[in-house]
Amino acid sequence: MDAIVQLVRNAMCCVKDLQLFTDTFPFLYDPAYLAKFYKFPAPYMSKTTPLELLISFSQLYAAFSCCRSGYKLIFSQGISKLIRLGRIADLFAKHPVSVSKKDADDKDKDVDKATNKKTIAIITSSILHEGNAALKNTLIGLCVLPIGIAFFWLFANSLHLTEAGTIGGLPALIHALIVMEIALLPLLYYMIKDGAAAIRKGGRIRALIGKFNNKKQKDLDKNWISFETYNFFIVRDWTPFWTLSATSSADIMAEDKMLVKEVEAVEKHVKAKSSSPDEVVLKKDAAGDLETVAKMSNLEGYREFVYFVFNFIAFYGYLLGIIVYYYDQEGEKQPDFVRNLKLGYSNADADWGGNFAGDMMWTLEPIAILVSPLIFKRIVQSSSVGKTKTD
């Protein structure tokens, strides 16, 4: 829903920037048309056109949506999850794995010790992985929340409230844009980081497929089971209960029992795979599924880089509006770095061009969000069919 609203909002902004449909739908640009239904206070809000009113509604939605998403990322998927992971780590330190049976022979005890060691490594890696994800969610939420707050001033600007000097006037609008620009910088960094991580993940999966496909048990490293291989080869898309935040006091009270069950399940899977040679070797279907996961991971990584390009251009474009506000002189009166940032254009052209570039990029981004899953699916299916025919 958010992507659809973003697409509609910025598409309408592009229509306004380019003054499209002035002949086909002239009422979109006519404030008098709104006056037939409701008279906004003069002299400023009465300038609001139907198109600007529609844009303001979508901006108000973005304000509430970003604030809600930011709050959720900070607390539900961030801080609350970190608190739970801290409790789980303390519980796991007290009883990390089940104790070997007293009547077991020496060989079984050695197997149990090896299983316990691998289980500890898997559980510990999972807790650390989720902790990093929760910390990242918190940081992203701290960026998304102020973006949502700043959208309120964009909503007010579409209704000409800032022009009237209310809620801080034009300076407050510029300050809101500055907040959005600052908050966007960490998000740009994570787009690059997440894209590179997704591509590396695809490479690791392919390397693991080559390592385990058509291998015999004697040829495998005895320590082949790790957190990564457990997720790929043993329990696909493993999601232990600590990947979610605790939702109630009863949920918190049950963590001890749930941890014991989770550890026992991991031990069971690890021991079974360690002692079953036929289960280690990748079957053709399993290898095909993992190859699909690797391709999707690579495509998702490239998509993050596309998002970075869209958002970097939008960041640069909207930045020009801030620059020309503070450096409103023209020509040689402006510092060299300002003229370079404007690419030699006048203040008016740089302001309009930068704003249009940002609106256009944020129109293309939701299109990529909505269309990319279908494109990725077709690419993966076509490559799988081609490989099958070759085989």
Whole-angstrom distance, CA of residue 289 vs CA of residue 140: 32
Taking the chain (391 residues) in runs of 10, the rounded mean pLDDT of each run is 90 91 87 81 83 92 94 92 90 66 47 76 90 93 94 91 86 93 95 93 83 58 75 80 82 86 86 63 65 88 95 94 88 82 88 93 93 87 61 54
Q: Which residues contact 8 (CB under 8 A, 6 or more apart)?
A: 58
What angle do helix axes 284-326 and 169-212 make, rounded to 10 degrees?
Answer: 160
Beta bridge partners of residue 282, listed in sequence order: 213
Nearest 10 degrees: Cα torsion 136, 141, 142, 143: 100
* pLDDT score recorded for residue 380: 81
Residue where the block lists tokens 């509430």: 64
Q: Which residues contact 100 (CB under 8 A, 6 or more apart)?
A: 108, 109, 112, 113, 116
Q: What pTM, to 2 d.p., does this model score?
A: 0.85
Residue where the block lists tokens 């993966």: 380
Whole-angstrom distance, CA of residue 168 vs CA of residue 175: 10
Q: Which amino acid appears at position 268 of this protein?
A: K
- Write out the DSSP string of 297-363: HHHHHHHHHHHHHHHHHHHHHHHHHHHHHH----GGGS-HHHHHHTTT--HHHHHHHHHHHHHHHHH
* pLDDT score recorded for residue 111: 54
Half-sphere CA count of 144, side-chain side, radius 13 A: 20
